[in-house]
Structure 1
Amino acid sequence: MIRATQVRPHYRWNEAAADTVVLGFDDRHRRRMTMTGTRGLEFLLDLQQAVALRSGDALVLEDGRLVEVVAAAEQLLEIRGTDPSHLVRLAWHLGNRHLPTQIVGKGLRIRHDHVIEAMVKGLGARVIEIEAPFDPEGGAYAGDGHDGGHDAAHAHHDHGHDHAGHDHKHHAYGHHNHDHHGHSHAHDHEH
């Protein structure tokens, strides 16, 4: 099976793509995985380290052909604040829980989660259920999202540590077992 061993960052390529893969958020952060394009091209993603793929990236096959990455539509919550200051406060609460969050126009997008939905509504947010591609921020250590840095793995697994004098667990809601940086993480989902 032909392998894809490199990634060209989003839209930094102009050749015609041989095929396209439509991937959800979880499948866009892998090191090794068999994939099938929308036109039937089968290949093995075989990177040296896990990379956070973004919509518009190209996977480079061993023979030089490119496969375009497209983010799949997912069930999301779009969170709106009453004003910019309120939105920043809401963003702080999401960040404090290490939730992958996408910043859009006048709101924030997260994966659908009823517990977080109740929390932000309790903080006065307006919440809209949508279906759209999910492309969250990479984090402070992510660079252009292709270095496989610590934050990408950090955002995807549970861990307990102390924040401002209170101990709590963080959750990457909706995640299961994933291959990150060559090793697996199991996730518990207690609330």
Structure 2
Amino acid sequence: MIIEKVIGNLSTMEKRTPHVERVYLESDLLVKRILRVSTDHGREIGIRLKDHKDLVDGDILHMDEKNMIVISVKEEDVLVIMPTSIGQMGDIAHQLGNRHLPAQFKGNEMMVQYDYLVEELLKQAKVPFKRENRKVGHAFRPIGHSHG
């Protein structure tokens, strides 16, 4: 089976089929347009997306009256950073930006992929954080820029 487009997302679908097969992916694979994957039931699928859109958790790749095939993002090791003030947030964001680390934001939390050097930086700066395995909705993607 070759999938060329995403047909929806579980978060917005009202009608669901009785059975769901899952394709488990690491978040860094969500940005790839061409993949060969297997479902949790052993079915091999080729993904060749025509649109330049990243996959996200819950994307539906196939659906018929009895079955759906859905993207499920695996949990990964992250640092969840919880600054206590806007100044602390600005300072740590600046330092992480200097290291070219992509971050994701949710509410008052900033999340980066685990790195022991960042963990040490946060400890030294006395910025509250926790290390945990967490499912991220989309890939950590670096932002292009120049120093010119």
| TM-score in same-fold range (> 0.5) | yes
- Shift of the 31–8 alpha-carbon distance from structure 1 to 2, 3 Å rule, reads same
Q: Provide the residue aligned with 2:116 in structure 1.
A: 114
Question: Taking every aligned residue pair, what percent have the same amino acid on both sides?
Answer: 20
Structure (1 or 2) with the greater strand fraction: 1
Contact 2:80–2:132 (Cα < 8 Å) also in 1: yes
* Residues 94-137 of structure 1 deviation map (CA, whole Å, 9 limit, x = unaligned): 34544222223432111111122223333331231101112358
Distance in 2 separating the partners of 1:88 and 1:9: 36
Matches within 5 A, 1:65-80: 66-80=68-82
> Secondary structure at 1:6's aligned position in 2?
coil
- Structure 2's unaligned 5+ residue stretches are none
- Shift of the 118–160 alpha-carbon distance from structure 1 to 2, 3 Å rule, reads farther
Tell me, yes or no, if structure 1 residue 55 matches structure 2 residue 66: no
What value does the CA root-mean-square deviation take over the aligned residues? 3.0
- Structure 1's unaligned 5+ residue stretches are 139-151, 164-191
Q: Provide the residue aligned with 1:162 in structure 2.
A: 147
> Secondary structure at 2:146's aligned position in 1?
strand
Cα deviation, residue 4, structure 1: 1.0
- Shift of the 29–110 alpha-carbon distance from structure 1 to 2, 3 Å rule, reads same
| Count of aligned residue pairs for this structure pair | 143
TM-score by length of 1: 0.61
Distance in 1 separating the partners of 2:114 and 2:137: 14
Higher relative contact order (CA 8 A, sep 6+): 2
TM-score by length of 2: 0.76
Distance in 1 separating the partners of 2:86 and 2:78: 21
Contact 2:57–2:138 (Cα < 8 Å) also in 1: no
Cα deviation, residue 78, structure 1: 1.0
